Chains A and B, each alone.
Chain A
Amino acid sequence: MSIRIAPVSLIALSLALAACASTPKDLPPPPQPSTSTNSAMSSQPTGPVPGSQADFLASVQSDTILFDTDRYNVDARDQGVLQSQAQWLARYPAKAISIEGHCDERGTRDYNIALGERRANAAKNYLVSLGIDASRITTVSYGKERPIALGSDEDSWAQNRRAVTVTVQ
């Protein structure tokens, strides 16, 4: 099923980005607190190599967006995260990414592979709507096979229902 996404210009995005500058509390904190999310890492003499995975992680709000139970829609908070990823991708047009879709353990195995694929595609479609070339983005679903939070409780499940962007180096 294709997800209906209104075209959004990058200019509108930057505004939206400013509007959701506060990092959602259930997202992983930026790994490099001293770096600004908007400035190119190349200006930092000891920073990560420009265009590297470390640079990506240091530059974006988060590499991860989260989903509600059995859902795959990209909500406003997710949009802010993906916008920051789109900005990084715009800066490094030769870089490709893989988006990994995941589910919590409270689903059947086959269905979760399909659902993880759906989530990864939802993130991909949003990035494409921001002007990122679809050929730069691959998706892979891990279903419920790779949980990041290991508890069997709502908090863990919420962390595991995710799409994670990884740069292809």
Chain B
Amino acid sequence: MTRTFLAIGLALFAAPAFASSLLPQNESQSPSDATAPDSPQTGPVAAGSGPLQVTVSDESEWQDLGIAIPAFPTNTVVSTAAEGGNTEALGKNVARVVFNDLKNNGLFKPVGPDALPGIGYGEVAAPAFGGWRARSTEMLVHGFVKGGEDGRLTVGCYLYDVALGSELARQGYVVKPEEWRRAAHKCADMVYARLSGENPFFDSKIAYIAETGPKGRRRKQLAIMDSDGANHRFITSGQATALTPRYSPNYSRIVYLSYVSGNPRIYIYDIGTGRQQLVTEGKGPTFAPRWSLDGQSILYSMAIAGNTDIYRVSAEGGPSTKLTDSPGIDVGGSYSPDGSKIVFESDRSGSQQVYVMNADGSNQRRISFAGGRAATPEWSPRGDQIAFTHMGGNFRIAVMSPGGGNMRFLTDSWQDEAPTWAPNGRIVQFFRTARGSGRTSIWQVDLTGRNERRLNTPVDASDPAWGPVLP
């Protein structure tokens, strides 16, 4: 896979340009006649009329929708630094990434480039619908890869409804060779969003803790990866235990807990410079850091004389504002999407339960009353659900409404913990600890609770934190 990829500062990522500006517009360079894709028109398109649409509401099972994704052909085979070495091989790799994105998230039943015949470059814009109907294909994804003289790649992505014989959406992306997977994720996002009506989420990243070593002496390193587990990169060496990372909303920084000073303290790590800074000079240990939605401030928890409360501080430092003041452990915190409220955890009632307060700390009230203990609440980016760890015997991931009602379990294992939402609020990641060995792994499950799968990570993994969709 792409483990050999090195460390590109996220800030260096150029935003992929979109259809109107990026698809081949210069007739002399784009394939000119009927054997090639047209120059797409502007706009990613919401071709109106009634194509098949799937539902991902909480109650209904996600439908299996047959999607064919053959390799993306190239107009001219040229060498590229992207995976595959040339644009033809890369075209197959791009289609594989699109296939895996769609397959791994349960909504679709795709068939990928390794099980399909190749297509000609001219078919990208003029699919052979008859042949695809004969394969019982419902949806068809076509695309192309072109190498530019500056080394950049242009990737086109088209979605067709086979039964209607019509195009549903198209986009194009110009990317640097090392960003080729982002073009594939954007393509998968286009297909997902067009067919589900939901917001995209594949082109996003995850910060987490990579774990190695025996249970009694776990080495815990800050690490990052793409939403599909690719482009994995260790951030810290593991000399000091690192825990509970959170990506800043623009992916430029990570706030996390480190024992580098010998005591638990929260730090901001700058991905571009590789430097980190202590967030606040507290009187006691600081932990459980969380970004505000705009990335301007940080919620954290601090223990003074054994009593833990939640504070807010500017991400640039300065004085902290104390938000809770109960005897007991108040910890964590996650903003509602409008920023007006914070959901957090407190044991002020005698056991861990979930509470909501206004963003200034006022009007604190308990919302979890379903029995057992409830911890690590995270507000969905859609605002309609709160995911949390339910502890009643086993630890299970559950969701409830912001009012505390309609609790549903999403997982059923010995110890599942610390949910984090996909940027579109349709999937939850968490980590699972194995009884006995203590080994950890990151899993994800959709809101139906049915499509559960483990992420591939190079070593054991915990504390996932899913960031927003990249621009």
Q: Chain A residues in contact with chain B, CB under 8 A?
A: 1-3, 70, 72, 105-106, 108-111, 113-115, 117-118, 120-122, 125, 140-141, 143, 145-148, 150-152
Contacts and interface: CB of A to CB of B under 8 A. Distances in A.
A141 B303 CA distance: 10
Nearest to B463: A109
B307 A147 contact: no
A109 to B, nearest CB: 6
A142 to B, nearest CB: 8
Given A117-B285, A150-B215, A150-B216, A110 B306 contact: no
Given A148-B216, A152-B436, A122 B375 contact: no
Nearest to A138: B263
B305 A109 contact: no
11 contacts: A1-B328, A110-B244, A110-B301, A113-B288, A118-B306, A118-B308, A120-B306, A141-B303, A145-B220, A150-B214, A150-B215
A30 B263 CA distance: 29
Contact of B303 (A2, A117, A151): A117
B376 A110 contact: yes
A145 B308 CA distance: 19
A120 to B, nearest CB: 8
Contacts of B262: 140
A139 to B, nearest CB: 8
A122 B332 CA distance: 23
A145 B218 contact: yes
- The 4 lowest CB-CB distance pairs between A and B, nearest first, are A121-B306, A1-B327, A110-B288, A114-B308
A141 B243 contact: no
Nearest to A72: B306
B456 interface: no
A110 B332 contact: yes
- Most chain A Cβ neighbours within 10 Å, of B264, B345, B375: B264
Contact of B216 (A109, A110, A125, A146): A146
A159 to B, nearest CB: 12
Contacts of B264: 113, 140-141, 143
B417 to A, nearest CB: 6
A2 B303 CA distance: 12
- Most chain A Cβ neighbours within 10 Å, of B243, B305, B332: B305
A118 B305 CA distance: 7
Interface in B222-253: 241, 243-244
A141 B262 CA distance: 10
B303 A118 contact: yes
Contacts of B433: 105
A154 to B, nearest CB: 13
A145 B241 contact: yes
Contact of A109 (B214, B284, B418): B418
A105 B433 CA distance: 9
A115 B329 contact: yes
B438 interface: yes
Given A117-B284, A117-B303, A109 B215 contact: no
Contacts of B243: 109, 145
A122 B306 contact: yes
Contacts of B329: 111, 114-115, 118
A111 B345 contact: yes
A108 B375 contact: yes
Contacts of A122: 306
Contacts of A70: 347, 351
Given A3-B306, A111-B347, A152-B435, 13 more contacts: A105-B415, A105-B438, A106-B391, A106-B415, A110-B332, A111-B375, A113-B288, A113-B303, A118-B329, A141-B264, A141-B285, A148-B216, A150-B214
